Structure 1
Amino acid sequence: MQLYASNKRKIMISGLLFVGMILSFFDRVAINVGIIPIAEEFHLTTSQTGILISIFFVSYSLMQPLGGWMTDKYGARVMVTVSLFSWSLFTVMTGFAWSFMSLLFIRFLFGLGEGPFYPASMSTIRDNFPEEERGRANSFFLSAQNIGGILGTALAASMVVAFGWRGMFTIAGILGILASFGIWFILKPQGNQKVKKDKPKQKKVALKLLFKIENIWKLITFKFISNIINYGLITWMPIYLVKEKGVDLIAAGGLLAIPYIFGFLMFNVSGWLLDKHMANREKYLAAAGALLSAIFLFLMSNATSIALIITYLTLNSVALSFFGTVLYTIIIKYSPKELTGSASGLVTFAGQIAGAVSPLALGLIISLFNDSYNAAFLFLVILALLGTIVAVSIKNNQAQPAKEYEKTTTIV
């Protein structure tokens, strides 16, 4: 029988993973602020600037499935620590870049380093929290994305002014390295969690078993759809507010922080709902979130004032918070323990591909329809409705170890 961490230790683990996720989003978002002085110093063209921002998503997405597999093979403690340490080291190195090519190479390595963190964190939650607490633990961890997003813009800008872009990356990287040491020691098995000395090394995981999980393609599809919507809004809403609605750029930045704040709160509320009231019914919360997202996106596209636009955008952020929480909670609750990391990595990989595709797709739609943002919003509404259908079709069942389904099909 598996014994989980004590309450005190679970709080420490949750806190460190939360900090790790904040640093993750801060480091990847801060480049959007730092790129302004970077472009001036290295005399970058517009295309070079775009490549520099995008290169992270290329290496990060490629590392998702491999990072998940490495987590299942080497263990969550090793991969969480290695990931946080390595991407933090590359963050420090960013501050010492001497040319465009050196910066491009470092940012590529940064994406590779950060890749395993997400799936390894999912496995860490599964290893240390009983099933009835995993929804809250997962949602608290994921809610750190919103804090990282806010700090990656507001705080990063202040740090650039105070310390320069090199100083900003150096400070952020040092904090991450210190956090990695904390995670390594906190995740060390203690007391009743210690493994037997004669326990064999963690066995290799056959990746082909992932595709015997019946719902894996539904989870991948749902993640892809949700990230098309999420990244589409992140990319185009600032431009929409400034160019289409005439909002001042600084004011737009402040207004767009509001959905992050409410998203953070609702991530944690949805985790509580999952654990207390939605056991074996998680998919219905996902479906409700997708349906509400479609409604709020439609209302936002027809809003007649800035106040209404931000209101519906905030409500949509609340609805979207159900997407990620439910998705990964289903994985860590019901997927076989041996494949939790791999499943998380594969699903996250699909989400990052969507992140790269979404801005391009919406830009193309806006151009094809004579600069009509309503066409882009309608596209997102249709995707949200499709997500509702996919969510309802997901089947839930109790988790089984990998050995029990090597010759069968298992439901996640």
Structure 2
Amino acid sequence: MATSFGVLLVVRFLFGVGEGLFPAAVWKVIGQFFTRRNRATANALVLSSVAIGPSLTPILLRPVLGSWGWRVAFYVLGGLGVMTFALAVVWALFVTALAGNITMYGWLNWLPTYLMEVKGLDLKGMALAASLPFAFGAVGCMVSGWVSDKWFRGQRKVLVLACQVLGGLALFGFTRVGSVGPFMLLQCVAGFLLFMSVGAIWAMPMVLLPTRLMGSGAGFINMGGQIGGFLTNIVIGYVVTLSHGDYAAGFNVLFGGLFLSALSVFVGVREARSPALQLEGDVGGVTG
């Protein structure tokens, strides 16, 4: 009993420390992204969450408490906190890179096996079909930087989301058609668009991060991408095993990674113009 009470005190203390950091961080963001005439309004909207949260919590937790009890309710609340943490600042781009690389590395590694086992290509046909989408991807990646700077300054996440959605649809279509010509075309379109989204994603830290944090921030984001690449084959292997050897099921992992990456960009990334620097170009930030 004494040990449990001590743990409770430690947890409460750490919870208070976390809460204590929140106002200063919020005021910093408000000061950076809002003019003096709008800061009070922005601050009031943020502070209203202190009342909105408790008003919604009992309603949202009622079905959880009724079905699974208070312990699961605490897990749900903790999960929401982790999700919020994962979508803050550089973490949003970290999650984006991690989830995005599950798709990209998974596609790169899984495509030859898929082409032979599901599409029925021989080794020679597989080699051509597996190389073409990445050739188109190289072009898409190179084009993305120019397109991003030309038409999407201050709204690069729009380009990322558009490429991910359209590229994901093309990739989904590739898995649903059987004729060689159509699925080759679709996977080349998917390669162009998905790698275009990769280029646009990596344009964002160049714009959003302060110069002094560029190296460490980009390295941290890249670490997320490498973790995603590491997890890809493991997760695909489990999914195919659980699907009783259905190789097509591996693509569900790719679609899941793409969805999570797009969600992270949509929720976590914000680009904005700073009034003091409008003449110098776009400056941005990431929600937190």
Question: What's the TM-score bracket when you normalise by the shorter of the two chains?
Answer: 0.5 to 0.7
- 1:291 match: 165
- 2:270 match: 395
2:102 to 220, 224, 228: 228
Partners of 2:114 and 2:249 in 1: how far apart?
13
- 2:249 match: 375
* Identity between Structure 1 and Structure 2 (%): 26
CA RMSD in angstroms comes to: 2.1
Partners of 1:333 and 1:232 in 2: how far apart?
28
Instruction: Say how many residue pairs are matched.
Output: 191
8 A Cα contact 1:241 1:252, kept in partner: yes
Normalized against structure 1, the TM-score is what?
0.44
8 A Cα contact 1:289 1:322, kept in partner: yes
The question of 1:319 aligning with 2:196 is answered: no
The question of 1:263 aligning with 2:137 is answered: yes
One-letter identity of the residue aligned with 2:214: T
- 2:45 match: none
Normalized against structure 2, the TM-score is what?
0.61
Q: CA deviation at 1:329?
A: 0.9
- 2:202 match: 328
Q: CA deviation at 1:281?
A: 0.2
Q: CA deviation at 1:390?
A: 1.9
Q: CA deviation at 1:398?
A: 5.6
Q: CA deviation at 1:244?
A: 2.7
SS in 2 for 1:257: helix
Unaligned runs of 5+ in 2: 1-84, 275-283
8 A Cα contact 1:267 1:322, kept in partner: yes
- 1:358 match: 232
8 A Cα contact 2:117 2:247, kept in partner: no
Q: CA deviation at 1:262?
A: 1.1
SS in 2 for 1:396: strand
Partners of 2:169 and 2:247 in 1: how far apart?
16
Partners of 1:260 and 1:294 in 2: how far apart?
15
8 A Cα contact 1:362 1:376, kept in partner: yes
1:280 to 134, 154, 157: 154
One-letter identity of the residue aligned with 2:139: L
Partners of 2:180 and 2:113 in 1: how far apart?
14
One-letter identity of the residue aligned with 2:262: T
Q: CA deviation at 1:261?
A: 1.7
Deviations 1:250-296 (A, max 9, x none): 33112222112211211122211111110110001111122123212
- 2:176 match: 302
Unaligned runs of 5+ in 1: 1-210, 400-409
- 1:54 match: none
Larger Rg: 2
8 A Cα contact 2:90 2:217, kept in partner: yes
One-letter identity of the residue aligned with 1:286: V
8 A Cα contact 2:102 2:229, kept in partner: yes
Aligned runs of 1:172-187 on 2, under 5 Å? Answer: none
Aligned runs of 1:6-405 on 2, under 5 Å? Answer: 214-393=88-267, 394-397=269-272
One-letter identity of the residue aligned with 1:345: G
Partners of 1:244 and 1:342 in 2: how far apart?
42
8 A Cα contact 2:118 2:248, kept in partner: no
8 A Cα contact 1:284 1:391, kept in partner: no
One-letter identity of the residue aligned with 2:271: N
How has the CA–CA distance of structure 1 residues 355 and 382 changed in structure 2, closer, same or farther, with 3 Å as cutoff? Answer: closer
Q: Which structure features the higher share of helix residues? A: 2
